[in-house]
Structure formats: C-alpha cells, structure tokens
Chains A and B, each alone.
Chain A
Amino acid sequence: MTDTNLAVLELEPKPPRGQDQTWLRELEHEVESHPGPNHLLLCRLATTPFSKRDYLTFGLQHHALVGFFTRYMELLLLRAPSSAEKLWLAKVLVNEYGEGSDGLDHTTLYRDFLREAGSRDGMEDRAELCPAVWGFVLEHLRICREEPFLVGLGALGPGHEWSIPRMFSHIIPGLRRAGFSEQGILYFTLHTEQDVDHGDWMTEVLAEMVETEDQQAQVRRGALLSLEARHRFFSGVEREIVAWRQPVSRSSEPSPGTLVDLRRVIASTRGAAS
C-alpha cells in the first residue's frame, strides 16, 4: 500500500463554489485558540527543560493515540458519502501508512522516538495508560462509527490536521533541548509538514462539500469533540509526568489498563457489534 502510485488520487484543485467561506475561517480560528492545541503542558514543554525521562512518560501515553489514527480514518472512509471525501481520506490515509516517510509508518517512527527516550522491551505495550488516553481513543472510535459522517470529518480534519502542527511546534523545541536526535523526533517534525498539507486538503474538501449551516454545525461539533478530548488527554499526561516523580500526587482514579488491554477491549466491542 505504501508503494502505491498516488497520482491517481491527486485531488484536482477546484474553485470554491462561491459560497461564503467565513465559517471555515471562524472554525480555523476556533481550533487555533482552543485549549486543546494550546494546552499549558505543550507551552511548558517549549519553555521548561524536561528530561528524556519526562518525555518517556509523555511518549508512553501519547504512543497509544498514534496507532489508532489510521483506524479512525478507515472507519470514516467506509462511511464517506461520495468519491471526493473518499479521495481525501484515502490520500491522507496513505500518508499515515508511511508514504512520504520512507515507507516508515507512524507507529514505527514513534517507537524510534520512544527508544531514544529510554523505552525498552515493549515497555510501550505494558505501560499503564491514564483514563484520558482510553477516553480519547474510545471517543474518536465512537465519533467515527456512530456520529454523522461530517462530525467524524470535523474530528479528524479540523480537530486533528489543523491542530497538530501547532501542538507539535511547541513540543519540538523541548525535544531538541532534551537532546533527542533529529531522527528520533522525525515523527514530530514530519507532522508539522505533512499535516499542513493534510489541513490544506481538508480545507478544500470542506469548502467543496459543506453547503448548509447544519452541515457546518456538524463539522464544528466534530472538531470540538476531538479538541475537548485532546485537552483532557494532555491534562492526563501532565498528571502522569508529575506522578512519575511524585507518586503521592497521583489521582485516585485508577488506570483502566495498558495499550494491549485497550486493543482487546476495542476488538471485543467490534466483535459484539458484528
């Protein structure tokens, strides 16, 4: 799949339909100023000399999200109402599988980062995940399965592709300060470039297919659901970073389990649904 010639999937640039695109600009502004991609933890990563060990704690939680993004997209792809949306989703999906990353999929890139942070022997599968990580993944699976298609598109498009370059631009200086190699942080640097493209493609798709106020509201709802989950996620990760050094500060809310447990729960849900 990663070697596929994508020329056939190129979206032809189309002129806007002439409708007022103010809502898109407003949504973009709303995403940019939302507490999710502007979480104080992200700003602190940029300003504070966190250690590689701190980033390991961060990464062991964040890693769980990385492997699921393609799953969200696959679910949404199945429900895309027309070829334009299918094309956009397929194009991004192929990128996520590793196209443009020397064939390395994003999970592999992330594991490189974790190894440089000190992860050993499958630590990423055994790490206890905080409830907000489970919450983030399950919420996005729910959105992509149960909500109207445009809500899902809002979550994965504006909710992810517009916000990730902003989030990672805060994380990258901190990673460099902590001494990570450029190869080790490729997952992050790649996303600041790739997701700008994905975001632009998304803007084109939204301008093309969203025509009514109701449709706009669905896209916005998806974006905000995703960003709120993102905010809860970063708050959870922040608590984990504090708690590894000062365990007594850990909240009484127990971990629902590891990444392996999460995959098992998702697989069983899928089985039950089918």
Chain B
Amino acid sequence: MKILLVQPAPYENGRIGLETALWMSEPAALTALAAMVEGEHEVRIVDMRVEPADVLPRVLAEYRPHVLGVTAMTTDAYQAQAVALCAKSILGDAVFTILGGHHPTLMPGDHDQPYIDAVCIGEGEETFQEVVAHLAAGRARDEMAGIAGLRIRVGQEVRTTPARSQARELDSFPAPARHLVAHYAHEYFFAAANGIASIQTSRGCAFDCNFCAIWEFYERKVRFLSARAIVDRMEAATERFIMFLDDNFLTHRQRLEELVDEIERRGVRKYWMIQGRTDFIVKNADLMQRLRDAGLMMVLSGYESNEDDTLAALQKDNSKANNLEAAHILRELGILSMGIFMVHPDWEERQFDQLYETINQMRITMPMVVIHMPLPGTQAWREHGDELLTRDARFFDLLHAVTPTRLTRRRFYEKYAEWNGATMKSTRGSLTPAFLLKRPALMLRLALGYRKLEKKSKKLRRAIGDPENFLRDEYEIVGRDLETPTPAELVA
C-alpha cells in the first residue's frame, strides 16, 4: 500500500510565529509511525511547514496514497482537517484518512467530519500499524472494532474502540524513519542552531501541572528509552545539533548518569538541547556539569511565574527560589537558558512590570512570555472551560487571551506586547563576554547561524511586539468591541 503522512502548517500558511522564527523540529511523530509500516509498505512524508501550498495536492494527485495520516496539535487542528479534506476531494474514498496526535486524542469529537475516516486516540504507532495491516488485507473499513485506540466513522455513525494500552517498552519500537525527512534536514532549527536532529528519549511526565495535558495524554506514566538506544540514535544522526523532544528530560538521575557514561564511552561529540525543570537543576548541579561536558548546550524550562502563590495555583510543585537558582547554575556552567513565563488574563498593569523585572534579574538567555490559558484536555480546561471567549483552536497558541481580561483587551495586549523589549536586559545580562568564553567552540558555531536567526526574529519581534496584531486576530472572533471596558473594569 502507499501511505502519505503529513505534518500540517501551523495556524495558517505564511503567518509569522514561533515555528517560523524560533524553533522547528522534524515531524518526529510521523517518522515514528513510518518506521512501523515502512518494511511492508511505501511511505512518504510531506512537511507542509516548509513546502509551498501546492505541493500537497500535487503529491496527492501523483502519488495517490491509499492511506493518509495527519498529525495535529491544537493550533493546527483546522489545518490538519484541511489536509484530510484536500485528500478526499482529490481521491474520494480511494484514500483512507486518519488523524492523530495531541489534539485529536484529547478532543476526538472535534474531528467528526465526513472527510475523516478515523481518529487515532493516544499513542499512535501500534494503532496505525494495525489499521494499515487491516486495510492492506482488504478488510472492510467498518470492521475495525477490534483495533484499540480508534474513533471510526461508519456511515453516519461514529464509534470508539477500547483504549490503546500505553505500556510498551520504548526500546521495542523501531527507530524513527528519519531518512524520510532527510531532504528537509536543513530546514529544522532551534534559534541559531541550524540543521538539528530531533530524538525523543522518554514519554510522559511525573508532574501534574493543571495547565498541561502531557501527563494526561500519557496516563500519568513515564517511560524511558535506554541509554544505549539513545546514543545509537545520536550516532546515526548526521546533524551536529540534537533536540531531545522529551517534555521533561531532567528526571530520573540514574538514567541520565547512564546516558552520560554511554556518550563518554562511545565518544559521541554532539551539542544537544533539552526541556527540564528548574528544581532538578538545583538539586543536581553536579550532574548538570556532567551533562554539559557530554554536550548539553541549552535547557528550556517552564519557569512559569515570578510568584510562589501562582506556582502553587498552577500545581507546578516548584518555587521562585528554584527558578532564580537554576538560572544562576546554568549561567555559571555556560549552558544557554530558555525560560517560559506566563502572564495571566486577570493581571493588572503592575504585575506585567514585576514579571519583566524578575526576568531581567534572572538573566535568562532567551526569555519567552506567553499567556496563560486553559488548554484543551487539561485540568484548567475542565475547570474554566465555561469562561472561554472562543473555542477557535487557532487561538490556543499561548499568544492569545482566550478568557476575559481584567484590563481592556487593548491595554492587556499593549502590556503583553512589551515583553520582548522589556526583557532584552535579561538576554544581554546572560550573554556576557565571560559567559561566551566558557564555551568558545560552541559559541563560534552558533555565531554562524546568528545572522539567519536575527533576520527571522526581527520579523517575529515586530509581529509579537505590535498589540494591533492581536487585536485584529480577535476581530469578530472574541465578538466584542475591543474598546468596551471589561466587566471587571465596570465593577471597579
């Protein structure tokens, strides 16, 4: 059978966002799926984030796949649906369309559309493999009840099969079919690191922050790839830079020690980036030094807030003191830091200013400020879903206030849009000559990609620094006069 896997464009084609300017990883979910079926079937991957819009219909018409698989996060949910519709429009029922990923798993009902034959709920590899085998055997589409983890359309009816178990050892999955995206390799980047490989070494998270759905997606379980398998994949990657895609890489000290041992034993020399919590960094400063020596160059952490009360309300199970200390440790070790912070729709002006001031004190290399929102599938969604001003999936990108604001919408976005300029001091305070000289070879390599980064981020800064952009996005979507005081203001 011929299988086409598609990574949709985020939000909308041509829009400037984080993925066009700051970070674009290879479609690791699709290469993982491809590896499950590639031996017996022909598989192609199209990454619509980097392809011109006409490529998809041309590939559909020429390749004529029997199965189309599309992955979707929340913000690209409509794009994913458009891909499936395009396939049905061109190929009719000759193609079986299946959507999977984060949003389809957490909000499967959003995808009950006549042009979507099935939704894969939860981890996709085994489900997808079984669906393909079922279709390849010539069995009827309406006889998939025995395949776990599916929401299938049978005529006008939608049926959900039993849940797919998420217990399989990660080492038992085949290595992702990265060669299928090799022709895009130069397109994937993180900041000034151009040409990055992406490897996922664990799934799930042991924490239960109420604004995050990762732990819910993976049913509160965490599974790890062995050190040997991780280094196998690091060695197989031709890229010099690697992004470990784990939602929380910094967990389980023993596994990380084994990983460092394995990297050292095999003499792998790559630069790599991770996501991890600040409390782990503080408790394991010695290990952080070993990780750095093994190639760790950047840690992305959810600092979230400058107030302990807010961290507690978010169920973050962390503290402002840890955030400050972790930023200090990373700086001392010569590890670049990226910190995510949240502003809240119910904030007053002074709270924005206080946050920006705290960020500058932390001297984080790349601070990023997003807007707190109840994301689909999270505890916050269940508790505050009735406060939503819109359910338009595009606006769950952490850059829009989807709940009412205490300030007027205009003033809220004016304060929010200040963040990039207001936190420049943090970046400058981080990238001091002393810091740069800690790792001259790495900094020199990154300097080569700096011009490209600067060109891209210039446009991003203009986009996120202009409150009018956010207000135009809200035109009709939020459905209110932007100058009208909020209910909170009227009460005040």
A residues adjacent to B (C-beta < 8 A): 32-35, 38-41, 43-44, 46-49, 51-53, 166, 170, 231, 235, 238-239, 241-249
Contacts and interface: CB of A to CB of B under 8 A. Distances in A.
Contacts of A41: 13, 53
Per CB-CB distance, the 5 closest pairs between chain A and chain B, nearest first, are A51-B476, A33-B61, A43-B82, A35-B57, A47-B81
A34 B59 CA distance: 10
B90 A43 contact: no
B61 A170 contact: no
B469 A246 contact: yes
B89 A43 contact: yes
12 contacts: A33-B90, A33-B91, A43-B83, A47-B81, A51-B475, A51-B477, A242-B13, A242-B14, A242-B15, A244-B472, A248-B459, A249-B459
Nearest to B468: A247
A44 B462 contact: no
Contacts of B61: 33-35
A265 B52 CA distance: 31
A interface majority secondary structure: helix
Interface residues of B, number: 37
Contacts of B392: 49
Contacts of B86: 38, 40, 43
Nearest to B390: A49
Given A43-B89, A52-B476, A166-B89, A249 B463 contact: yes
Contacts of B175: none
Given A52-B476, A241-B12, A249-B459, 20 more contacts: A34-B57, A35-B53, A35-B61, A39-B53, A39-B54, A40-B48, A40-B57, A40-B82, A43-B86, A47-B81, A47-B82, A48-B78, A53-B475, A170-B89, A239-B14, A246-B469, A246-B472, A248-B459, A248-B463, A249-B15
B57 A46 contact: no
B13 A238 contact: yes
A35 B82 contact: no
B311 interface: no
B13 A53 contact: no
Contacts of A166: 89
A49 B469 CA distance: 18
Interface in B38-85: 48, 52-54, 56-58, 60-61, 78-79, 81-83, 85
A258 B90 CA distance: 34
B473 interface: yes
A48 B57 contact: no
B16 interface: yes
Nearest to B82: A43
A247 B468 CA distance: 10
A241 B82 CA distance: 17
B99 to A, nearest CB: 12
A40 to B, nearest CB: 5
A31 B31 CA distance: 32
A166 B54 CA distance: 17
A235 B394 contact: no
B387 interface: no
B66 to A, nearest CB: 16
A57 B58 CA distance: 27
Contacts of A40: 13, 48, 53, 56-57, 82-83, 86
B49 to A, nearest CB: 13
B466 interface: yes
A105 B44 CA distance: 47
A33 B57 contact: yes
Given A43-B82, A43-B89, A46-B85, A38 B57 contact: yes
Contact of B14 (A39, A43, A170, A238): A238
A243 B16 CA distance: 10
Given A38-B90, A39-B53, A170 B394 contact: no
B89 A44 contact: no
Contacts of A248: 16, 459, 462-463, 466, 469
Contacts of B477: 49, 51
Contacts of A39: 53-54, 57
Contacts of B12: 44, 48, 238, 241-242
A235 B15 contact: no
Contacts of A242: 12-15
Given A33-B90, A51-B475, A246 B16 contact: yes
A51 B79 CA distance: 16
- Which of A35, A235, A238, A239 has the most CB atoms of chain B within a 10 A radius of its CB? A35
Nearest to B460: A248
Contacts of A231: 54
Nearest to A44: B82
A48 B462 contact: no
B181 to A, nearest CB: 20
A170 B57 contact: no
Contacts of B15: 242, 246, 249
A145 to B, nearest CB: 27
B367 to A, nearest CB: 21
Contact of A48 (B16, B58, B82, B90): B82
A192 B170 CA distance: 51
A242 to B, nearest CB: 5
B20 to A, nearest CB: 9
A168 to B, nearest CB: 13
Interface string B382-398: 00000000001010000
Contacts of A48: 12, 78-79, 82, 394
B53 A238 contact: yes
Contacts of B462: 248
A19 to B, nearest CB: 26
A241 B394 CA distance: 15
Given A33-B57, A35-B54, A238-B13, A44 B476 contact: no
Contacts of B83: 40, 43
Nearest to A249: B16
A245 B14 contact: no
Given A33-B61, A34-B61, A40-B13, A246 B85 contact: no
Nearest to B479: A51
B287 to A, nearest CB: 42
B16 to A, nearest CB: 5
Contacts of B78: 44, 47-49
Interface string B2-15: 00000000001111
B90 A32 contact: yes
Contact of A43 (B52, B54, B85, B469): B85
Contacts of B13: 40-41, 238, 242
